[in-house]
Amino acid sequence: MSMNPTETIFQKVIKYVGPYALYIAFIQGLVAFLGSMYYSNIAGYPPCSLCWYQRIAMFPLWLTLLVGILRRDQSVHAYILIPAWIGWIISLYHNVLYYKWIPDTFAKCTSGVSCTTKYIEYANFITIPFMAFVAFSVILISMYIHRQYLKIRTV
């Protein structure tokens, strides 16, 4: 492959990451699913209500991506975007609440485990809500890269 000196960094990312974007999203979704199962079923951390909503959005993503990959469905990103965006928005709200950027009075976690309960904190900032936010972000970015890659491939 020859390098085009006028290619932007964005175009290079699309060109080189694009063929693998579905696999990246699949692996991220599977890791998020397995991590969630580990924290609740093995480590014994009960999920809060916002975590449950994020699980509802995340859990089918890895399976949908796997089916799309196996069937070579080039439009799989269309099936992923709605639940991924819903999960991302809930996760953003959860992080804003967790890191106390908004007052606890905005919390909708009135029963069960508090949405601001601190179970883990790796490197003083990586928490369960943060990991969920990163997972949804990686999946959404991967879907965008996949879609852009399909556009340049068909040109």
Over residues 17-41, the pLDDT tens digits come to: 999 999 999 999 999 999 999 999 9
Q: pTM of the full predicted structure?
A: 0.89
Rounded Cα–Cα distance for residues 40 and 139 (Å): 22
- 81 residue type, one letter: L
Q: What is the pLDDT of residues 31-80, one digit of tens each?
A: 999 999 999 999 999 999 999 999 999 999 999 999 999 999 989 999 99
CB atoms within 10 A of CB 28: 22
b/e 2-12 (16+ beta carbons within 10 angstroms → b): eeeeeeeeeee
Please, what are the domains in the chain?
25-153 (1.20.1550.10)
Which two structure tokens, joined as six digits, stand for 40?
A: 């609740």
SS3 at position 122: strand
**pLDDT averaged over every residue in the chain:** 91
| Residue whose pair of structure tokens reads 């990686």 in the numeric block | 138
